[in-house]
Amino acid sequence: MATASAPGKIILFGEHAVVYGRPALAVPVLQVHAVARADLVTDKRIGEKWADAILVEAPDIQLFSPLSHLLREPTPDPLASVISSVFQLLGISHPPALKITITSTIPVASGLGSGAAVSVAVIRALAAALGHSLSDEQVSQLAYETEKLHHGTPSGIDNTVIAYAKPVYFVRGQPIQIFSVARPFRLVIADTGQAAPTKESVGDVRKLWEADQHRWEAVFDKVGKIVVAAKEAVESGEIASLGPLMDANHALLQEMTVSSPELDRLVLAAKAAGANGAKLSGGGRGGNMIALVQPEKAESVASALKAAGARNTIITTIE
């Protein structure tokens, strides 16, 4: 038996533009996590008979699914895909029977990286149960393959920040850069309660871009500049300048049509309650927003967000 856990994540700056090669900043959120447990059933091996030899249970979402039949072919099922990719990487052609149990406190389709966190936890638990330890890079790569099933054309930021569990300055296709936080700062994360599949908002931005590449490349450039300025601010402890940068990033996300009335309402409510800056985080259209707050204002901003309709809030310190 082996267990592994993976944190949630938020994107601080740069979502969507990151799909088009601009940088983004993301950090793990340790208050929420996915946990996977892999139990090998050693007296039973998968040979000709595949039925029921691999069972995935996720009681939180009432999933009790024998997946074995999905493992023979390339599959669109994210869990089956992640499991078979581990077998493939480890060169296991006749996997033992096993049961994988997944629990998660990360809300689904809300921009906190639930899909990538489940993948990372399953990969690590399964590899450990099979007697292997994978590097963060290997785990991230495997999770990326599955992110493609969730997202369509993912940048890779979710699997990277979650597999490394460190603050990441991410540029698609480039080696991971960890950034340092000179002075801790506090964020309130608020969930609109509306699930919004990232695949759709990413697809819609793609359509905008295809119709007018010149315009949207310029918008993505503006986002890229905000991200670079935000990284410098975080690394030098200039936290005060992060608020206006968040506001500017949110305005550009609105222009990309990925905000929503609920997200905008929460952003305004946070600002009215004294947040220094606020923006949607992740794919948008629903899911989560983040607000930068002075530590002493965290509770009152969180209350204001709840009063404005937030389903749930998390107060987190980035350090």
Interface residues toward ligand PMV, by CB under 6 A:
11, 15-16, 18-19, 111, 113, 151, 154-155, 157-158, 198, 202, 282-283
Residue appearing with tokens 């450039």: 221
Spatial separation of the C-alpha atoms in residues 251 and 245, rounded to whole Å = 10
Which residue lies nearer to ligand PMV by CB, 98 or 188?
188
Question: Which residue, 3 or 254, is less far from ligand PMV as judged by CB?
Answer: 254
Q: Which residues are catalytic?
A: 158
Residue labelled with tokens 């990925």: 258
In this chain, which residue has its C-beta nearest to ligand PMV? 282
Residue closer to ligand PMV (CB basis): 151 or 297: 151
Cβ at position 194, least distance to ligand PMV in Å: 13
Joined together, the tokens standing for residue 148 give 């493609």
- Minimum separation from the CB atom of position 72 to ligand PMV (A): 29
Least distance in angstroms from the C-beta of 221 to ligand PMV:
16
Q: What is the DSSP letter of 107?
A: P
Between 153 and 294, whose beta carbon lies closer to ligand PMV?
Answer: 153
Taking the alpha carbons at both ends of the chain, their separation in whole angstroms is 33
Widest Cα–Cα separation across the chain: 64
CB of 17 to ligand PMV, least distance (A): 8
Cβ-count burial of 222 within 10 angstroms (0-12 exposed, 13-18 middle, 19+ buried)? middle
Tell which residue, 186, 170, 187, 168, has the closest CA to residue 178: 168
CA–CA distance from 208 to each of 53, 204, 263 (Å)?
Answer: 45, 6, 21
The least CB distance from residue 50 to ligand PMV, in Å, is 32
What is the C-alpha separation between 10 and 121, in angstroms, rounded?
17
Calculate the CA 265 to chain-centre distance: 23
CB of 149 to ligand PMV, least distance (A): 13
Q: Which is nearer to ligand PMV, 18 or 70 (CB)?
A: 18
**Strand 24-45 to 2-13 pairing:** antiparallel
Give CA–CA dist 7/27, Å, rounded: 10
**Angstrom distance (rounded) from CA 23 to CA 59:** 37
**Cβ closest to ligand PMV, residue 80 vs residue 202:** 202
